[in-house]
A and B are shown apart, each in its own frame.
Chain A
Amino acid sequence: GAVVSQHPSRVICKSGTSVKIECRSLDFQATTMFWYRQFPKKSLMLMATSNEGSKATYEQGVEKDKFLINHASLTLSTLTVTSAHPEDSSFYICSASGLERRAFDSYEQYFGPGTRLTVT
């Protein structure tokens, strides 16, 4: 159990366009979802935390107008990279923690497979 999917797994876009990445919890309800980015051979950096039905909380230094996050339901969060530029190229990973305390460790985060964004 506790499967998180991301779509797309890989995307290439032109500079100046916007890209939407979806994160879904497939078999549990995710009250909280997290978005991370990872540069090659580097660690993960938390970008923002989103709770269902409320505005996302962004980490210091992350532009909320550039990285739009929507957590519309207990199984879906989206990250939209607006007006993408080559420096936004990265590996974006979402994670989710959920309500199913009986079935899963309530402190566990379940990570999606990641989305590799390349901006040309």
Chain B
Amino acid sequence: ELKVEQNPLFLSMQEGKNYTIYCNYSTTSDRLYWYRQDPGKSLESLFVLLSNGAVKQEGRLMASLDTKARLSTLHITAAVHDLSATYFCAVDIGGGSRLTFGEGTQLTVNP
């Protein structure tokens, strides 16, 4: 059974600081997704990582994938309040786009 674990589950940080969210998964997969969810809303796609060593950046967020270590990271640079949300990673099971989600990381950025 595929397990996807995120760390930390809760993160409170100050504006301007940097931090990293980790996503570990238990079985082979070459496709990993990061999503953002605001309270009461659905998911917003952030990144799709398709191969080992993939790195993508958008604004203050950067995601990377190490398929050998079964680890993805979401790095936040110089956080701002607008980044406050819950962030999910998700792993594709068996290439059929069936996703298993991590527990989510609830990020709060304080002024």
Contacts and interface: CB of A to CB of B under 8 A. Distances in A.
Interface of A: 32, 34, 41-46, 49, 93, 95, 97, 105, 107-114
8 pairs of A and B residues whose beta carbons are closest in the complex: A111-B43, A114-B42, A43-B101, A44-B101, A113-B42, A111-B42, A43-B103, A43-B104
A111 B90 CA distance: 13
Interface residues of B, number: 23
Interface in B27-49: 31, 33, 35, 41-45, 48
B96 interface: yes
Interface of B: 31, 33, 35, 41-45, 48, 50, 88, 90, 92, 96-104, 106
Contacts of B44: 111
B48 A43 contact: no
Contacts of A46: 98-100
Nearest to B6: A43
A105 B103 CA distance: 25
Contacts of A109: 33, 45, 97, 99
A110 B90 CA distance: 13
